[in-house]
Amino acid sequence: MSQRNIPDLSALDFYVLNALNSSLVENLLCWLVPLLAAFACGKQFNAYYPLRKAIFTRTDRKKFVLQKAAESAVSSFLLVLFFYLCCFLFDVIIAETACPGIHFGVSLNPDSVMFPELYYAHPILYLAYYVLMISGYAAAFGMAGFLISCFTRNRVAVAIGPFAVMIVLSIGLMVIPNGYGALFDFTSVSLLRKSTLNYVSKPVQSFFNFIGPLIYLVLFRLLIRSAAGKEKPWQ
């Protein structure tokens, strides 16, 4: 399976598989997603900050802040999802112009992906699986950026905040015994990244990878809710 020729592999499948097999794509997943999330959420609250006193006299502060936090998460999710849909569209365009007579082959170490069978049989479904997961992490990073914007008006701090959160979480999760922190570490949940948790079944790893963003969203929402109940950040 380390070298497999697939005669009936479509041009689109070929380009999807080889795009996933690129180290460049893998690096972009780690480094671009928090920055894209910051771009989506950076002005969610700062745009309303000068008018906060007028807004808070008309509506409940906690309700308003939590609503804007949710908008930050949704905006980040949709932006990253749109980014990957555009990448997929480029693959479609390339596939349409490819020569149908080319015999495609894909080289891959089966230990380097979570589900090699799905990778080969349904690469687009495999791609969708990871894109949704990564977009979920983007939503969490977006809410983290909004949380930071509640305490500072510094645009640079808000812009790099989600990226810093990713780094801090990654370092913090490394201290969890037996490497279980990797289940919730975004830098470990990238395409074609070999799992180091050989003693945990892949379905279980996949489950925790998916609920990881939800856990972070709940955590950041609780922190934002707590901040919304205090006076100092809004003075």
**The tokens of 82 are what?**
């749109």
The pTM score is 0.79
Domain ranges, residue 187: 10-229
Rg of the chain (C-alpha set)? 20
**Cβ contact 32:138 at 8 Å:** no
Does 63 score more than 80 pLDDT? yes
Structural domain contains residue 4 = no
Structure confidence at residue 49 (pLDDT): 67
Structural domain contains residue 205 = yes
Q: How far apart are the first and last CA of the chain?
A: 62
Q: Residues 134-183: pLDDT tens digits? A: 889 999 999 998 888 888 778 788 888 888 888 888 888 888 877 777 77
pLDDT classification of 196: cutoffs 50, 70, 90 = low
Structural domain contains residue 234 = no
Structural domain contains residue 235 = no
Nearest to 134 by CA among 88, 83, 179: 83
Structural domain contains residue 3 = no
Percent of the chain with pLDDT over 70: 64
Number of domains in the chain: 1
Q: How far is the C-alpha of 70 from the C-alpha of 143, rounded, in Å?
A: 7
Please give the average per-residue pLDDT across 184-191, as a whole number.
70
Nearest to 115 by CA among 136, 133, 130: 130
Q: State whether residue 198 is helix, strand or coil.
A: coil
Structural domain contains residue 91 = yes
Structure confidence at residue 4 (pLDDT): 44
Does 220 score more than 90 pLDDT? yes
Structural domain contains residue 1 = no
Q: Which amino acid is at 77?
A: F
Q: What is the mean pLDDT of the chain?
A: 74
Structure confidence at residue 22 (pLDDT): 55
Q: Residues 74-92: pLDDT tens digits? A: 989 998 888 888 877 776 6
